[in-house]
Amino acid sequence: MQTTIYDEQIILLQPRGVFTVPKRLREGLFDNSGVAKIKRMGRKLVIEPVRTLSYPVRSYTDSELDEFFELDEKETKKLKTKGLI
């Protein structure tokens, strides 16, 4: 697999592991929040932008999820007995 390098630059890694991604490398990749995902692949670090949602997302409790799955199981059984699935 061949990788195309669009731009590269040498940067300085600070003692605590902090570095700055040069503006010309991050332009057009990150929104204003600047959230990124970083992962290690062998001897390389891959940094990818993470798209954030501009609206709140609801979280469900474990009991709410359990209730949903129980209801889903009951409804699935009903549909199977009627031959609908």
pLDDT average, residue stretch 5-33: 85
What pLDDT band is residue 81 in, cutting at 50, 70 and 90? very high
What letters, b where the CB count within 10 A reaches 16 and e where it falls short, cover 2-23? eeeeeeeeeeeeeeeeeeeeee
The two beta strands, 44-49 and 36-41, are antiparallel
- What would the two tokens of residue 9 be? 């630059």
**Between 71 and 34, the higher pLDDT residue:** 71
The model's confidence at residue 5, banded by pLDDT at 50, 70 and 90, is low
